[in-house]
Homo-oligomer: A and B are copies of this chain.
Amino acid sequence: MFISKTSEYALRILTYMALNNETQFSAQSLYEELEIPKRYLMRLLTDLSKSGFINATRGRSGGYVFARPIETIYFSEIINSVEDLQSFEGCVLGNSVCPVDKPCALHHIWEKPKQAFLETIKTTTLADLLL
């Protein structure tokens, strides 16, 4: 499982845009490149626009462009915009509380993969894909 399908889509869209530096991307062109159901893609683009990752312009020669430099867009922020990142931070066993002094049985075992995941998404930006 790992991340939701919507997170997958959001990452797919933005990584594609970051890697193909065209001046602008239309929903149509993104639909043709990425394998995402068209109407869902369009709605997601509006969401990503509202979240401030991209700017939309309507009308005949409209489309989407990055609203900010891609050096400032972290994967954690993208994922967090479509699902709750908090659910990754919490206890593996889903315990409401998992206190430091008396953590759940799996706590220390889970730390390593969890940190590897969080660190990766929190320290990697879209620009890092170009390196």
Contacts and interface: CB of A to CB of B under 8 A. Distances in A.
A70 interface: no
By secondary structure, the A interface counts as helix
A129 B105 contact: yes
A53 B125 CA distance: 42
Contact of A8 (B8, B93, B114): B93
Interface residues of A, number: 37
Interface in A1-56: 1-5, 8-9, 11-12, 15-16, 18-19, 35
Interface of A: 1-5, 8-9, 11-12, 15-16, 18-19, 35, 83, 87-88, 92-96, 104-106, 109-110, 112-114, 116-117, 119-120, 124, 128-129
